[in-house]
Amino acid sequence: MKPRDTTTPHLRIVVVLSATAPGTDPDAAQAAQTRRSTALRIGLLESGYDLVASLPADVFLPERIAQLQPDLIILDSESDARDVLEHIVIATRDARRPIVLFTEDDAPASMDAALEAGVSAYIVAGLQAERVKPVLDVALARFRREQRLLDELSDTRQKLAERKVLDRAKGMLMTRYQLTEDQAYQRLRSLAMNKNMKLVDVAQRLIDVEDLLG
C-alpha cells in the first residue's frame, strides 16, 4: 500500500499521549500534561491543522489509528517512548506517515531508537505553541524527501528485477532458436503486443513454462 498523501494544506492529525512515568507525582504529572496538551492544541489550531483525536498509548492504539487514518501522528511523551513507538510502527507499517515526537527525554539511546523506528522529528523540551508549525513543516519536508528516496530505490529494484527476467527469457530464446539478442527481444516484444501484455509478463510466462517442462 502506498503512503498517504501529506501535501494537502489541512492535515488530519492524531495526538498520542504517553503514559506517565512510574514514580511520578500524579498531580504534578497531570498539571504538566495539561500544559503540554494546551500548548500543542493552540499550536495546531493557529496553524490551521485538523486535530482528529487525542489517543491514549494503550493496546488499542494500532486499531484506532487504522480507523482514523491520520495524515500525521504526534507523540507527546515526557519520558522514554519506545513502547508507544512500537505500537505506532505496527499501525503505520502498511501506510507510512510522518511521526513527530515531543519529549523531555534527551538520552541519545532514546533518540536513536526513535529515529530508527521511523520518527521524522524528535523534539526535546520544545513543546511550545509557537514552535508547533515550524516543527511539523520540517518533519513533513523530511518525510517527503525520505519517501521520494524510498520510491526511487523501489523503482530501481523493480527495474533491475524486470531486466533479469527479460535477460533470462532472451537467453532461453537465443539458445533454443539460435537467435541473436535483438531477434530474441523482438520476438518477445511481438508476442507481448499480440497478447496485449507487458513485456516482462510475457518473459516471466516463458520462464515459468520452461521451468515447468524442465
**179-197 pLDDT, tens digit each:** 999 999 999 999 999 999 9
Is the Cα torsion angle 121, 124, 129, 134 positive or negative in sign? negative
**Strand 72-77, strand 12-17: pairing:** parallel
What pLDDT, on a 0 to 100 scale, did the predictor assign at position 99? 93
Residue 3 clears pLDDT 90, i.e. is over it? no
C-alpha span between 122 and 112 (Å, rounded):
10
How many Å is the Cα radius of gyration of the chain? 25
Could you report how far apart the first and last alpha carbons of the chain are, in Å?
A: 36
Could you tell me if 30 and 88 are in contact, meaning their C-beta atoms sit under 8 angstroms apart? no
- If one compares 203 and 37, the residue with the highest pLDDT of the two is 203
CA gap 56, 10 in Å, rounded: 23
pLDDT value of residue 7: 46
Residue predicted with more confidence, 105 or 161: 161
Band (23; pLDDT cuts 50, 70, 90) = low
Measured CA to CA, the distance from residue 15 to residue 18 in angstroms comes to 10
